[in-house]
Amino acid sequence: MASKEKWKSKTNPTSTGWKNSGVFKLILFLLLTLMFFVGLYPKLMPEKYDIQVNMPSDKEILAPSQIPNSKATLQAQEEAADKVQQVYRIFSLRNDTLVSQLLDRIDTLNQDDQLTEANKIDIYKEELPQRVSQFMTNSIRNSGNNGAYSAALLQEVRTRVNEQEYDIPEETFYKIPSLTSSQIQQMKSEATGIVSRLMSDQITDAQTARAQVAEFVSRSTLTDRTSREVVQELIKLAITPNRFYDEEATKEAAVQARENTETVYIEQGEVLVQRGELITQDMYNLLKENEMLKTEINYWPQFGLLLLSVLLSFGLFLFTRQGGTEFRYENPQLLMIALIYFIMLIAMHLTALVQSDTSKFVGYLAPVAIGCTLIALLLNNSFAYFSAIIFAILSSIVLNAGQSGSEIFDFHFGLYTLVVSYAAIFTVHRASQRSTLLKAGIMVSLFGAITVLALSLIGDADLNRETILYPVAFALASGLLTAILAIGLMPFFEVTFGILSALKLVELSNPNHPLLRKLLIETPGTYHHSVMVGNLSEAAAEAIGANGLLCRVGSYYHDIGKTKRPSYFIENQNNIENPHDSIDPKLSKSIIVAHARDGVEMQKEYKLPKRIRDIAEQHHGTTFLYFFYQKAMKQAEERGVEPDFTEADFRYPGPKAQSKEAAVVGIADSVEAAVRSLHKPTIDQVESMIGKIIKSRLDDQQFNECDITLKELDVIAKTLKEAVMGIFHSRIEYPEEDKPKTKEN
């Protein structure tokens, strides 16, 4: 009895330990919170430095990201402004109209007989300059009223026109009164033409244009010397500059040049300050502008990051508690989840190291789908879908190369991570071969490339090599990297955490496995029995939503302990005497119940996963060996002695079934053995026998430690009946239908 209790304590999976410790579970989630905090800290909280001007730096300071260099940018802006040419504008003063009006006035005065020549000369001396000045003032004022010119430009025009006004020689005034009306009309025609031609050029210095007047007049049709001399002076009087410096436009052009100057950046990873280098004021200002100095204590950003980390960790905690997963209370799986998240953060940060603001597309190389791929294969799909959202949040922060202002998240990488993770989950959710991982990598490459291409086309960036080709190429490479990492990491997680993935189950079902070959060669009857139990249990498990593949493979190995003493089990007793007929029932009981313990030990020797071992250990639970008990009671009665044993001595040591899969295999094992023992079973017999087996186990409280329900037991019974009918159809004798009697005529 003592040895039996010791065996129970060693093998009972419900025994206390770190695997079910609430304290360890809490530590794991605190560890996850710390991991999120540390993993996101470098991106959200860049390192700050305690330095002083004119003091050497005790460490090398690198640019945490691409940061603007304000001093270099300002210098570039000033250089661009200095290169701006002065802006000049053409301002028309209608000089041809002016010279025409002057000649009209001269013609009017010369025809006035009441004025003496002396009076006319005095009038010309006083009036001609005044008329020119008034004409220019009115022209400038009218242009200003139109709003086409700024006040500064109009003032510039007045200043330059006044500075360059022309003074007619004294002798010219004495020649004007002698001009006849016909001469004046001829002079007017020539003068307006010459002024128009000269003023068609851009004139900054009127003296240059006036120097050409003599040449133009000499080529004119005027032949009279006096006419030519007078008209020449009047044309010079009417000539003014028409190209003026626009100070405001020049300043505006300089402002535009400054604004159009591209910001000068210091690239990520570039050395800002060498170790031991003396800190200058410019260096200090640069670090201060980019918030890299420990100027004042402010813990609010860190507190915000801590809250974000707690939210992420708490979300995982709630999902594992309420997500309806079979792993929600097991610490080894939680530890594995933490390790997968750690691997994901490391992969993202390694990729971010080679990222910069000019090469953000490198982030698409990160194998962001590997986390969900592993979770879907090792745990379940629902948790993988939830983790995809967490990974999308993490990647949008870690792979964000901008890191400026409020740009905490880069939705490009978040969306990319979500799409490729879902693509990987859809591909591997029913994986049965290692080659499926390669298919998953191809799907990640395909959907990743499509996502990147879509985001590039939607954006307003120029479609070139850096915005299309490189991002798509890196997304394609990410899928290949995901497949390689998944293939390499799967065995590590399976062995380290005892995870029984679908891929591992398929490998274990291979008949060439040493234990299955041993079972086939040494106990062919048990091997055939195990295969049949596998077929029955798989169908029943899938009918209630349990793991059918686990039941099938577990059934293959559930009786492997019978290879220790094969002849003591009826399915292997071909043409030999039953050895139990000649030995004590207690010894028979010990041999029979030992096959569960022996099977577990053999499976441990071959390093089979724990869930397979659990099925072998629990498929009989603590059921009662009624046959040997009755035989022992009969022998005691025949000898006339009181039995020195109880019913408890003729029970399997257990434990009882801890999972639905173990319960299903136990029922299927009994059903297969019972049906095989029938000579010519009928449908009614099969149905009745299945019902009795399930009821017997239910009454014996064999299902008390697993979460199987009465409704599920009913489904199992119906499914097993249909499966048995299919498997043993050639052995079932169907009752003949009664033929209706025909009435004789």
Is residue 585 domain-shared with residue 693, that is, in the same domain? yes
66 found inside a domain: no
CATH of the domain at 473: 1.10.1760.20
Q: 545 with 679, same domain?
A: yes
* 438 and 483 Cβ atoms separated by less than 8 Å: yes
453 lies in the same domain as 534: no
State whether 394 and 474 are in the same domain. Answer: yes
Domain count, the chain: 3
- State the Cα torsion 294-300-304-307 to the nearest 10°: 120
Type and span of the H or E element at 643: none
CA angle 480, 483, 488 (to 5 degrees): 130
pLDDT of residue 744: 39
**Does residue 529 contact residue 566 with C-beta atoms inside 8 Å?**
no
Q: What per-residue confidence (pLDDT) applies to 741?
A: 45
Residue 29 falls inside a structural domain: no
Residues 478 and 516 in one domain: no
Residue 79 lies inside a defined structural domain of this protein: no
Asked whether 71 and 289 are in contact (CB, 8 A), the reply is no
Q: State both tokens at 335.
A: 């530890």
Q: Which two tokens stand for residue 194?
A: 């010459």
Question: What is the sign, positive or negative, of the torsion defined by CA atoms of 60, 65, 71, 76?
Answer: positive
In the listed set 487, 503, 519, which residue is the last one of a domain according to the structure? 503
Distance of CA 550 to the CA centre of its chain: 34
Residues 467 and 547 grouped into a single domain? no
Whether residues 533 and 566 share a domain: the answer is yes
Decide if 562 is inside a domain.
yes
Listed in sequence order, the DSSP H helices in 245-369 are: 247-260, 281-289, 300-322, 331-353
Q: Are residues 458 and 598 in the same domain?
A: no
Q: pTM for this structure?
A: 0.64
pLDDT digits (tens, 9 = 90+) for 691-722: 999 999 999 999 999 989 999 999 999 999 99
Report the Cα 496 to chain-centroid distance in Å.
29
- What pLDDT shows up at residue 729? 57
Residues 525 and 492 in one domain: no
For 639, the domain range is: 511-727
pLDDT digits (tens, 9 = 90+) for 340-375: 999 999 999 999 888 876 788 899 999 999 999 999
Instruction: Tell me the C-alpha distance between 118 and 173, whole Å.
Output: 10
Residues in the chain where the model's pLDDT stays below 70 = 1-17, 65, 147, 268-269, 291, 295-298, 323-329, 357, 402-406, 430-432, 460-465, 728-745
